[in-house]
Structure 1
Amino acid sequence: MATIYSKTADGQNEIETRARRLTPRARSTLILVDGKRSAAELGKLVQQADETLQALLEAGLIEVVVTKSAPVKDTIPAPLAGGAPAAPAPASGMALVEFEATRRDAVRAINDLLGPEAETLALRMERATDADQLRIALERAVAYIANARGGGPAAQFAGKFLSNLQG
């Protein structure tokens, strides 16, 4: 069974303020918790993942979102009665599902590329409520990736995610 965790409001606050002075391993794990990766996937990225996730859970910084053997994409709830979207429309011509998928995938990619260094960039992307805000965050990410990893990875990231927002 796959257990998926997401950050709580306290967890988001901890990333922004560092008020609890978490250990580097706990902080890195908290940053990597995105509501999409399973505990098994996190276990490949950090040492002692089970113990660290349990400690973050007990501290109220993360919560269990899904405990299933089904893929996460199959657990997305159906639209609310009345058909109202859960978030504002992202941009003209771009479907909400496509926007959310682009944002989610970009956050995962930046975390995979840069690890804990991507914290601020990932938070900006997660907070984006429309395509313009996401495009600005992605452009900053491309510049940061170019400085940290070089032009090749930056161009790949830009090609994959910025091209989705060009209309």
Structure 2
Amino acid sequence: MLIDCINKAKNIEEVVIFYFETNHGQSEGDSIHSVVERALKRVKEIVTPSQLSGVIRLASKKPYHVVDVDTNSIQDFKELSQTLAILRVRLTDAGAEIRWPDFKQMKITKQNTKVIYFKYSHTEEDFHVISLPSRRNLSLSVHQAYANPPSIAETKYTDLMLRDVSGNQVSSGC
């Protein structure tokens, strides 16, 4: 996914991801999560998932920037991942065994997207290097995950249409 992102981005030269040490620290994400959780408790009811973005947006004094995602925005990276065979690589370029779950920092550069740089510790000076298998005529295309928006069963749709805003069953008039 990062490789696709950096290939498509015009102004990004490298992407660096820092992973938290297990059981350490409080992140900005934890703070946002608790603010949103409090805002959701104050809301009397949410009838549709689309209402969540408004509640989240206004959860803080300084409104959060919320990006609503539609079906066309969701991409399937499984085929790309299998084509690149990243997780099949077992050794670094130096011959050391790769401990994927222990990564603390990872870097991908636009200059060479066939190389992954990583560290096992935030205090390490140098990156370890993984060169991805070279494949000729490699197509790095990513496809949409869904051809159509997800649907629900007709019986469920009918049942939902027979309810009022508060969720109570409405008489069908028969």
* TM-score between both structures, scaled by the size of structure 2: 0.21
* TM-score between both structures, scaled by the size of structure 1: 0.22
Structure (1/2) with the larger strand percentage: 2
Higher relative contact order (CA 8 A, sep 6+): 2
Structure (1/2) with the larger helix percentage: 1
Higher Cα radius of gyration: 2
